[in-house]
């Protein structure tokens, strides 16, 4: 059986009537009801906020209950109504003061519990107004309250609210951390306090901080060198596309020019007087400095590692071609070197028998660069003598004065004429008898050197009046049982051409 309770405030009797077999109506009456308010929560809020009024004898019929805010002739919107609790919405234009509640022909004024209507929040300024993600901004204004949890600060990006992180809140100041975004530009900045939107909107510009990841020069020596006039490619993010909006500095000097500017790459020209150092890119007042530093070519700099390949022991051999490698391997072609057929005249062995295809230029047991005639497969004429054997590298060098240093061991000449040679603007070294100082060739002839003697070094100077392609290495004619053995090539930049 279900029971139905009806409350009549002016009766003092309990009447039970059986309406049917399934229902029982119970009338609960209070002879002398008193309307009372025990709490208002919260006791301050913006127009539109919801507040809860707790007390007694409000009744349960919304149409019989009215709540008036100070300064209002119309009752506030009543959202829910229970006998002990009312939820109402603060009307627009309400004033601070007591609430008046009317229910069941009773009336009470909450003189001891006043409600404060907070004026709408208003933003007046933002500092800074141009920021990167994760920076702190300060919003000035009024009517913000003092609780960070009441504040929602956000900007609208592509129709979505992107929230800021509130770090502190005072009635006239909000501090917040800017979100990191992948979209940049000017956006509307809005604030909501306790669900109430501020009456105005500010503008904030979210900037992408320029970030340098790599810097590479087009210098002929190495991408880590930068001379005046070289072009340097700066890779990264956040550069924008307007070259006029970007400042590029080499050390403390402005770039000669910015040849191109994309968001991920800038190409800039090195200025005169650059003495080496990092590169800085500045955009929108924000800067990024490269972790890597570019170098200038100082006097007496060993540039071997920048321009030469496989230039000192232990040397790296090329992989064998078919028929070159066997069970007894002492000979190979050095990686990074061009070795012509005449200098590839030595044979490895397979199970005590000479292999079918010759190889040469590197003795892997002794770890020397070598051209040799004899002491190998005498059944092949080419292994007994070397005619116009060549082993060389092609490199490009900037203007300057240089020294090529050759460290060598055993040299057996007899009547041979092996040379270390440096020639300009040629793809291949000349034959030994075609070397000519008149053509600008620089060369030095090996001298006999005992295998038991300490290693010797020869220094060969040469000058370049401009950036030049050069070919350097060995060119040799060797009779039977002749050879030379080199353990290191070293190339030193001496200085500017005198």
Return the structure tokens found at 417: 């004429």
What is the architecture of the domain spanning 36-117? Sandwich (2.60)
- What are the residue ranges of CATH 2.60.120.260 in the chain? 297-498
Distance between CA atoms of residues 30 and 491, nearest Å: 111
**Bridge-partner residues for 62, per DSSP?**
none
**pTM of model > 0.75:** no
Distance between CA atoms of residues 60 and 169, nearest Å: 40
% of residues, the chain, pLDDT over 70: 94
The tens digit of pLDDT for each residue in 450-461 reads 999 999 999 999
Task: Give the burial string for 67-105 (b: 16+ CB within 10 Å, else e).
Answer: bbbeebeebbebeebebeebebbbbeebeebbbbbbbbe
Sheet bearing 106-109, strands edge to edge: 65-68, 100-103, 106-109
CATH fold label, 297-498: Jelly Rolls (2.60.120)
Q: Does domain 215-289 have CATH number 2.60.40.10?
A: yes
- 170 — pLDDT class (breaks 50, 70, 90): very high
Distance between CA atoms of residues 148 and 135, nearest Å: 18
Are 294 and 226 spatial neighbours (Cβ–Cβ below 8 Å)? Answer: yes
Dihedral (CA of 305, 309, 314, 316) sign: positive
Distance between CA atoms of residues 108 and 34, nearest Å: 10
Which has the closest alpha carbon to 217: 308, 297, 304?
297
Task: Pick the range with the lowest mean pLDDT from 13-27, 194-208, 268-282.
Answer: 13-27
Are 324 and 318 spatial neighbours (Cβ–Cβ below 8 Å)? Answer: no
Tell me the CA distances in angstroms from 146 to 126, 166, 172, one per residue in order: 18, 12, 9
Q: What is the DSSP string of 275-289?
A: -SB-EEEEETTEEEE
The tens digit of pLDDT for each residue in 416-474 reads 899 999 999 999 999 999 999 999 999 999 999 999 999 999 999 999 999 999 999 99
What is the architecture of the domain spanning 122-207? Sandwich (2.60)
Residue 151, classed as helix, strand or coil, is: strand
Averaged pLDDT of the chain: 91
- What are the residue ranges of CATH 2.60.40.10 in the chain? 36-117, 122-207, 215-289
Which has the closest alpha carbon to 281: 238, 227, 344?
238
The reported pLDDT for the residue numbered 45 is 87
Q: Which are the contacts of 68, defined by CB distance < 8 A and separation ≥ 6? A: 74, 75, 76, 99, 100, 101, 102
């Amino acid at each position: 059986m279900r029971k139905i309770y009806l409350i009549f405030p002016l009766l003092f009797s309990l009447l039970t009537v059986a309406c049917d077999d399934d229902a029982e109506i119970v009338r609960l009456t209070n002879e002398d009801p008193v309307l009372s308010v025990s709490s208002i929560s919260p006791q301050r809020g913006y127009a539109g906020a919801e507040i809860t009024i707790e007390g007694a004898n409000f009744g349960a019929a919304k149409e019989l209950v009215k709540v008036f805010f100070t300064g209002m002739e119309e009752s506030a919107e009543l959202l829910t109504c229970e006998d002990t609790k009312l939820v109402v919405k603060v009307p627009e234009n309400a004033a601070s003061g007591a609430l008046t509640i009317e229910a069941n022909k009773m009336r009470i004024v909450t003189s001891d519990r006043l409600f404060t209507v907070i004026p709408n929040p208003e933003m007046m300024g933002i500092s800074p107004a141009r920021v990167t993600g994760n920076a702190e901004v300060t919003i000035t204004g009024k009517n913000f309250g003092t609780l960070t949890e009441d504040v929602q600060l956000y900007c609208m990006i592509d129709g979505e609210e992107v929230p800021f992180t509130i770090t502190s809140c005072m009635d006239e100041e909000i501090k917040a951390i800017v979100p990191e975004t992948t979209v940049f530009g000017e956006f509307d900045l809005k604030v909501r306090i306790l669900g109430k939107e501020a009456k105005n909107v500010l503008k904030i510009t979210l900037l992408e901080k320029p970030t340098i990841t790599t810097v590479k020069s087009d210098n002929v020596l190495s991408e880590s060198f930068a001379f005046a006039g070289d072009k340097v490619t700066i890779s990264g993010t956040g550069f924008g596309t307007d070259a006029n909006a970007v400042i590029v500095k080499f050390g403390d000097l402005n770039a000669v020019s910015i040849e191109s500017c994309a968001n991920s790459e800038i190409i800039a020209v090195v200025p005169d007087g650059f003495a080496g150092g990092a590169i800085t890119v500045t955009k929108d007042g924000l800067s990024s400095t490269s972790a890597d530093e570019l170098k200038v070519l100082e006097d007496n700099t060993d540039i071997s590692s920048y321009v030469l390949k496989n230039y000192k022991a232990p040397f790296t051999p090329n992989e064998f071609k078919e028929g070159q490698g066997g069970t007894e391997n002492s000979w190979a072609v050095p990686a990074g070197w061009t070795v012509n057929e005449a200098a590839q005249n030595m044979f490895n062995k397979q199970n005590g028998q000479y292999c079918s295809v010759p190889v040469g230029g590197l003795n892997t047991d002794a770890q020397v660069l070598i051209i040799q005639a004899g002491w190998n497969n005498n059944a092949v004429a080419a292994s007994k003598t070397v005619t116009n054997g060549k082993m060389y590298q092609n490199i490009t060098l900037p203007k300057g004065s240089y020294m090529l240093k050759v460290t060598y061991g055993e040299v057996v000449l007899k009547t041979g004429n092996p040379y270390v040679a440096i020639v300009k603007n040629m793809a291949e070294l000349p034959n030994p008898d075609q070397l000519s100082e008149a053509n600008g060739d620089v060369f030095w002839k090996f001298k006999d050197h005992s295998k038991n003697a300490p290693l010797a070094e020869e220094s060969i100077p040469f000058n370049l009046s401009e950036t030049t392609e050069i070919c350097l290495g060995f060119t040799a004619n060797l009779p039977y049982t002749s050879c030379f053995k080199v353990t290191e090539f070293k190339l030193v930049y001496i200085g500017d051409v005198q």
